[in-house]
Amino acid sequence: MLSFEYILILLAAVFLSNLIHRFIPQISVPVLQIILGVCISFLPLGLDTELNPDLFFVLFIAPLVFNTSMLLDKKTFWSLKGPILNTACLLVVASIIGIGYFVHLLIPVIPLAAACMLIASLGPTDDVAVLSVSKRIAVPPRLMNILFGESIINDATSIVSFQLAMAIIVSGIFSPVHVTGQFIVIGLGGLLSGTVFTGCKYIFVQWRRRLGMENVTLHILLEILTPFCVYLLAEAIGVSGIRAVFAAGVAHSVKRDKFNPDRANLNIASKSIWDVLSFTLEAVVYLILGTQLPRILQTVQSSILLVSIWELILYVTLITLAFITSRFVWFYLTVRKNCIPIQPLW
């Protein structure tokens, strides 16, 4: 659980990481933040650094995805729908099967279905990591657009694959019809729910405007609350919360001019607030990752598999190399063609 003291320490670490980066620019800010996170975990302050994954997605991932999708160049995104769907669906499935079998051969004690479950949870690219890389490394715009689109869409593919592997372990039965239905419900259901929720928000804004409650402060407060509410509502009905937030951000950008007639003041205030919020949230994500590393290592040391730290490092390195190699090969064979530079999505 996140205590008040813990939040203050994280915010102080955000400031400290950027200060250190000013004097040691050779080390990237995310790396510094992970290191500081590890240091925070050893502070003798009696702080509980354990974080619920569901809470993590609500507090950090949802607003970051919402902010980015609001800045999305919809025309560019649509023009790259082929490569994005290719990497978000086909590449994820191919990685789960291929690398899952590799993990099973590497560590025979792990059943094939369990290995596929592991890769399903590790395979999809992360939204925060993609956005962070785009700000620090000169990546060709088309490639970065594809990676960002993939990071938004591939969660449904990984979730369905994870559930499928779990079902095979439990029952030993494979049902293509059930898998297809789950993919449609989780993926398309998320997009539809995000759009519907944004429509409901638009109706509420219109009703509030008729009551004379129109001002920039209330609008920005409602805008900040939107990703949290959309994510929680989508997850509550059993669809992809991340996709719902993404759809809500895109729909919000389409209706942006209709939400408030005072566009100049609204755009200036909204951009300033979201810039600070997204910068802080990205930094806190890496700090929290650092605070979890010692706990992860302790869990490995006490594992019933009796895996040493050095064996773990070897396995992680080999699996990472397998991921990198498979992605390079897949992109070279299926996405490399017609790499014409175009405008970024954000």
For the domain that residue 164 is a member of, what is the CATH number? 1.20.1530.20
Measured at the CA of 277, the angle between CA 196 and CA 263, to 5 degrees, comes to 60
Q: Can you give the pLDDT at residue 124?
A: 65
Query: If you average pLDDT over every residue of the chain, what do you get?
Result: 75
The number of distinct structural domains making up the chain is 1
Predicted confidence band of residue 86 (pLDDT cuts 50, 70, 90): confident
Predicted confidence band of residue 343 (pLDDT cuts 50, 70, 90): very low
Domain assignment of residue 3, yes or no = no
Domain of 135 in residue numbering reads as 53-335
For residues 295 and 299, give the distance between their C-alpha atoms in angstroms, rounded to a whole number: 6
Domain assignment of residue 23, yes or no = no
**Does 315 or 299 have the greater pLDDT score?**
315
Domain assignment of residue 27, yes or no = no
Domain assignment of residue 340, yes or no = no
Domain assignment of residue 248, yes or no = yes
Closest CA to 320 of 95, 85, 91, 57: 95
**Which range is least confidently modeled, 146-155, 224-233, 234-243?**
146-155
SS3 255: coil
Surface-to-core class of residue 174, CB atoms within 10 Å of its CB (0-12 exposed, 13-18 middle, 19+ buried) = exposed
Q: Can you give the pLDDT at residue 130?
A: 64
For residues 269 and 178, give the distance between their C-alpha atoms in angstroms, rounded to a whole number: 46
8-state DSSP, 86:
I
Domain assignment of residue 82, yes or no = yes
Two tokens, residue 91: 């590449």
pLDDT of 317 higher than 60? yes
For residues 96 and 154, give the distance between their C-alpha atoms in angstroms, rounded to a whole number: 12
Surface-to-core class of residue 293, CB atoms within 10 Å of its CB (0-12 exposed, 13-18 middle, 19+ buried) = middle
Domain assignment of residue 163, yes or no = yes
Domain assignment of residue 327, yes or no = yes
First to last CA, the chain: 33
**Does 308 or 219 have the greater pLDDT score?**
219
